[in-house]
A and B are shown apart, each in its own frame.
Chain A
């Protein structure tokens, strides 16, 4: 190292170039190590969607052709926390008790059933949906989302899911 120290004349150029590469390699190594750890650390946590069956209503109570509004409470896991979130759903007694999510597939507002017009209307951007959830008009790109449901012990149960909004395909979140 002596000859590198005190003179800028650098008698051996290739050795000098090699020596100068070292600090860059060292810096690169450190940054690569930290960047790899940071990438793994910050990568979004995917929490599996809840498989839990949530009671919606007694089947015996459901009748008629009009959608029935219900609220369900679903557990939502996100990293270090779990939370309970309330969601609105519509049961369709005229359609074999299918359960629709009330979340508008356009930008996620909550649709409400209008008895007089027989449509689900979204208050935000005026999307309208038919009684079976089909899209009628407005900016929404698909119909209302159907939730997996079943009947157990005379109770209608549902698995809550939410879907990515403003897409044509129905893609569950998570």
Chain B
């Protein structure tokens, strides 16, 4: 049966009331009209992500040198910084949850049939939000970020056919580096938000009747008998009421998110440059199921489980509106509803159980529990440390006349820790020294050599042999605090040879 509505397939129409989203006329009464408010919550959470993300971008610098410093600055030095970052962090985990609930609501209401465009948009949005979460995890450049990037690298590398080049394209080089941060930054801050905006804008401002091949059916045929005027006034009141509920529910969830973020700041550990072998990485809550699953599948299948399978599930969901075909109908009367229900409930069971198993096994194993507790304590200790600004090398001190700056001196004196631990060998001002037959190298102009940036010098202090240095230069990994190492390194790079 072809109704007049079926003829405007594929034609773009400007929605008459752009903000009457999430509402389709009456029929919703009682408890359901409060449950059917996920649209408002999802829109609110998206808005929170955009606003807090924008605010964070005012300070964040996507480079291996400064990413961690700028995030620490946000956490430790800026008013409201921890709250804003926590909103962004927790919001990124609540968003997929509420998008999933929105999908359930849409399935329940048969949107795959009456509003296929909305259904598809929601599935796409779920994929985009997960992608935004995956790319965002790398940006703070602490240990957690570093290992999440490692895992992403491995998963991408294992993709069939395109794996190794996809890995290189994702990292921007052959190793995780400052190029990788830039790439993840561009993907997280420009590309995914743009795509999300396009999808949401399409849903907010442009309505499309069902895509080609989907049979459009009126949802509320009982209203047809009403007079047109009565129908309009009735549906307007319904829209206003439902919109009120959407806003109120969004406000309640916002309040909860705000309080939660106030209580629990977003995690931030020491910089990725201080990697220790016993660190146990754990992903964000929205990826715990994936992390747990990777334990059970042979390594070679990891990418299939991590990317291909979720991709196929999303694709299947997105195609639901077209699955009303004869072969399916032969099995069941309402193939779309049943297929959707099966996929979504299997996902719920799978994701919930994997997540639970992961948390339980982390608590059961005493060694894991202990190491995780150590990491929590380390993060807490790092959080209490005062913020140490990064030293930018700017002035060309070589031009400074000898009378202005003493030979081999920087504008500032050596840090106390340097004088205590380094000066006996490398000289009070980095000029080097001789003890018996041992000759210790000067540190002047060392920054002009390759692999001697501030981060490198901190690395040398932690593990000199990794940089090809031989004893008597020894590791100061445990003898110096991290901020002392950074302070020394920042000072050493300013040293210049006397002219």
Query: A: which residues have CB within 8 A of B?
Result: 2, 4-8, 10, 19-20, 22-23, 26-27, 29-30, 33-34, 36-38, 40-43, 45, 52, 54-58, 61, 70-75, 77, 79-86
Q: How far is the CA of A7 from the CA of B390 in the complex (A)?
A: 63
Q: How far is the CA of A61 from the CA of B238 in the complex (A)?
A: 88
Q: What is the interface size of chain B, counting residues whose CB is below 8 A from a CB of the partner?
A: 58
Stretch from B122-130, B141-149, B210-218, B241-249 contacting the other chain:
B241-249
Contacts of B236 in A (CB 8 A): 8
B residues 371-413 in Cβ contact with A at 8 Å: 387, 389-397, 399-401, 403-406, 410-412
Q: Which of A29, A42, A70, A80 has the most chain B CB within a 10 Å cutoff?
A: A80
Q: How far is the CA of A20 from the CA of B83 in the complex (A)?
A: 30
Q: A5-B33, A27-B251, A33-B258 are in contact. Are A79 and B401 (CB under 8 A)?
A: no
Question: Contact partner of B83 among A19, A26, A37, A55, CB < 8 A?
Answer: A37
Question: Contact partner of B390 among A26, A29, A34, A80, CB < 8 A?
Answer: A80
Sample 20 A-B pairs with CB under 8 A, ordered by A number: A8-B233, A26-B248, A27-B247, A29-B251, A30-B44, A30-B254, A37-B80, A37-B84, A38-B80, A42-B58, A45-B77, A57-B403, A61-B403, A71-B399, A73-B404, A73-B405, A80-B66, A81-B66, A84-B394, A86-B397
Question: Contact partner of B400 among A36, A58, A73, CB < 8 A?
Answer: A73
Contacts of B389 in A (CB 8 A): 77, 79-82
The closest CB in chain A to the CB of B251 belongs to A26
B244 and A79 contacting across the interface, CB-CB below 8 Å: no
Q: How far is the CB of A82 from chain B (nearest CB, A)?
A: 5
The closest CB in chain B to the CB of A39 belongs to B80
The closest CB in chain A to the CB of B399 belongs to A71
Q: How far is the CB of A164 from chain B (nearest CB, A)?
A: 21
Q: How far is the CB of B459 from chain A (nearest CB, A)?
A: 20
Q: List 9 extra interface pairs beyond A36-B80, A73-B397, A80-B390, CB under 8 A.
A: A5-B29, A6-B26, A37-B84, A55-B403, A61-B403, A79-B77, A82-B392, A84-B394, A86-B400
B77 and A22 contacting across the interface, CB-CB below 8 Å: no
A40 and B237 contacting across the interface, CB-CB below 8 Å: no
B400 and A71 contacting across the interface, CB-CB below 8 Å: yes
A83 and B391 contacting across the interface, CB-CB below 8 Å: yes
Q: A interface, by DSSP: helix, strand, loop or mixed?
A: mixed
B73: CB under 8 A from chain A? yes
B residues 54-74 in Cβ contact with A at 8 Å: 55, 58-59, 66, 69-70, 72-73
A23 and B243 contacting across the interface, CB-CB below 8 Å: yes
Contacts of B392 in A (CB 8 A): 81-84
B residues 418-435 in Cβ contact with A at 8 Å: none
The closest CB in chain A to the CB of B393 belongs to A84
Q: How far is the CA of A22 from the CA of B81 in the complex (A)?
A: 30
A6 and B78 contacting across the interface, CB-CB below 8 Å: no
Contacts of A61 in B (CB 8 A): 403
B318: CB under 8 A from chain A? no
Q: How far is the CB of B56 from chain A (nearest CB, A)?
A: 9
Q: A5-B241, A30-B44, A73-B400 are in contact. Are A55 and B77 (CB under 8 A)?
A: no
B residues 75-92 in Cβ contact with A at 8 Å: 77-81, 83-84
Contacts of A8 in B (CB 8 A): 233-234, 236-238
Q: How far is the CB of B495 from chain A (nearest CB, A)?
A: 12
B77 and A81 contacting across the interface, CB-CB below 8 Å: no
Q: Which of A37, A54, A70 has the most chain B CB within a 10 Å cutoff?
A: A37
The closest CB in chain B to the CB of A24 belongs to B247
Q: How far is the CA of A92 from the CA of B412 in the complex (A)?
A: 25
The 10 closest A-B pairs by CB, nearest first: A8-B237, A26-B251, A23-B247, A80-B73, A83-B392, A73-B411, A86-B395, A37-B80, A40-B79, A84-B395
B residues 108-125 in Cβ contact with A at 8 Å: none
B55 and A41 contacting across the interface, CB-CB below 8 Å: yes
Q: Which of A74, A75, A81, A83 has the most chain B CB within a 10 Å cutoff?
A: A81
The closest CB in chain B to the CB of A52 belongs to B412
